Amino acid sequence: MPDAPRPIFITTPIYYVNDKPHIGHAYTTIVADYLTRALRLLGHEVFFLTGTDEHGAKVAEVARANGMEPKAWCDLHAQHFKDAWKRLDIEYNYFVRTTDQRHEAGVARLLERLHDATDPDGKPVIYEDEYTGLYCLGCEKFITGKELVDGLCPNHLTKPQELRERNYFFRLSAFLPEVQRRISEGSIRVLPEERRNEVLGLFKQGLEDFSISREREKVDWGIPIPWDPTQNAYVWVDALPNYITAIGYGDDPASFARWWTDASIIHIMAKDILKFHAVYWPAMLLAVGERPPQGMFIHGYFTVNGQKMSKSLRNTLDPHRLVDQFGADGTRYLLLTPFPFGMDGDLKADAFVPQYNADLANDLGNLVSRVIALIEKHFGGRQPCPVGIDWENGIAYRLQMPVHSCTHDFAMALRSRIWSFEDDGPDLDRAIRTGMELVRETNRFVEEHQPWNLAKMGRRDELATVLSVAAEAIRRVAIVLSPAIPNKSLEILRALGFENPSTELSIGGLSPVLDGNARGLCPGPFHLDGPIFPRLEKPESTRTERITVSESSTPENVITIDEFKKAQLRTAEVIAAERVEGANRLLKLQIAIGEERRQIVAGIAEHYKPEDLIGKTIIVVANLQPATVRGVASQGMLLAASKGKTLRLLTADGPLESGATIS
């Protein structure tokens, strides 16, 4: 690690505005926020960037299907992300939107520089050519035949469009050797090691030049190519530069130099967008003579209660509902601790309440309440002032060693791994664990010395020593755990008598602790109004609510009009139908939604024969997350009404072409 800390630039991906924030978005953003706060404790200046990705054909299609103009749709959903991050106490420095005028100007500047650049052999970096191939609208990316699974996009289970366009291309092939060299040698660190190997494997498979534009008549919602207004920037070429437009590329050279040229750059993301960030993005930067990012920390996918998150399974966790139940700090802690950063893992939603109660309400909350209550009772809420305390021996020493060990372990779990390529990235799990180990060690210390009995026996100096040491340990805990539980850490420090507790958590706030300042308590007053983490007596469901139709007169699970507008209801014509082998209730339908062909699976075989359905115009939910039912891909859901043993498909009350929007 360098002697003088360099500024650090931390980013999340910019999130697509086709939906509201879900727990996957929240996890990535909480990790970035945690790392930002932790590195500031260690003395670094950090710039934290997040935002939304708002251009592309898919955004325009979803917006118009919901009766809105694309910009209005983007404004609405960008605010959804801002609201979610506020509730989770995410403190970003800048929220970038790709529809911002500043961003669009920066992208135009980058495109112009790419257009003027040449590769190492003197060839133009940008050239015009015809693209003939496949495009997945859901992914907003060009896709090759070898990436398909049974002819479908593996992410969306939809058949990609066949495109034939005249576009502008980026000469990726000219920069692949240099990008590969930098990843192999470690000047571009892709962590953990498994993800680095995955990227290096892409070079062996062969990577082709990629299109940087789409014909504007086909994709009208985007940034125009500066030298050809008939073309718009391909969405990824528009999105990736957000990392530099937000910090001054094109309009603030000093800011850009500080946070890009002279900083340590860390992109945090999930593994599904690794190729674009680890290959395309460095190549584009090298082409215009800019420095590629140094670090990419990649986290895995996670399931919920053993199942892949899916709207069709109704198991996507809503960040707002988690905050409603556990508070911002409780939610952050529960999402940061189930498994090490970088690994695939399973969120046991049913275990959230027991873990919250055990770790936060019982271990930490009870410790703080007990120690402060004893100080209020026996010392009038003022700092205990023991006489002749021996910090090298005696009862104080029992806790001092764990205190020092905790704070140093916390620093090493984060600091060493930021710059060490051999490691697997920031050890967030270990960093939080060190704080909780000190909590439990302090609880054991209090139980061993039983200050309540020392008070009864009149052994005031020993009582003061025990409570003083325990309070100092709690101060350290509050500092070490503050990146995970920032609001509760401030609350704990206020309870310990700090009038301005935020100064303890400012840049370099951990330095006095690391330098050996073991006795940093204030004179008081010590006071706590209520439990830091109130115990949750009755576990509540953390799964999303199912939208149901009730036969009662009182509606259940009321939704807003904006929530209802998210569902895209379309008419569809059944063009083929057959039974699903081995399933008595399931039919596999081939449907036409306008010109689009899809396959859906429906549990209606007990009510309809396959031949009776052909030619019917039904109503389907067209934007439902694809699912696999009994091994058969299903790309939507038909609507039906049932009561008792009767089931009837919902249809229009007159002739209507397939693909019509239900509103």
Return the active site residues: 22, 25, 136, 139, 153, 156, 308, 311
- HSE-up (13 A, CA, CB side) for residue 572: 28
Q: How far apart are CA 352 and CA 336, in angstroms?
A: 12
Are 317 and 23 a contacting pair, CB within 8 Å?
A: yes
Task: Tell which residue, 402, 399, 411, 392, has the closest CA to residue 514.
Answer: 411
Cα R_g (the chain), whole angstroms: 29
How many helical (H) and strand (E) elements, i.e. helices and strands, does the chain have?
22, 25
Strands (E) across 197-329 are located at 210-211, 213-215, 224-225, 228-233, 264-270, 295-299, 302-304, 307-308
Q: Which residues contact 204 (CB under 8 A, 6 or more apart)?
A: none
Q: How far apart are CA 204 and CA 492, in angstroms?
A: 53
Length of the chain measured in residues:
663
Are 37 and 43 a contacting pair, CB within 8 Å?
A: no
Classify residue 626 by burial, with Cβ atoms within 10 Å: 0-12, 13-18, 19+.
Answer: buried
Ramachandran angles phi, psi of 289, nearest 5°: 80, 20
**3-state SS class at 283:** helix
Are 211 and 168 a contacting pair, CB within 8 Å?
A: yes
What is the widest separation between alpha-carbon atoms in the chain?
93
CA dihedral 631, 637, 638, 642 (to 10 degrees): 90
Count other C-beta atoms under 10 Å from residue 561's C-beta.
6
Are 55 and 235 a contacting pair, CB within 8 Å?
A: yes
Q: Is 57 left (phi over 0), alpha (psi -120 to 50) or beta?
A: alpha
Are 195 and 179 a contacting pair, CB within 8 Å?
A: no
* Helices 394-419 & 460-481 angle (0-180, nearest 10): 10
Q: Which residues contact 426 (CB under 8 A, 6 or more apart)?
A: 35, 297, 341, 413, 414, 417, 418
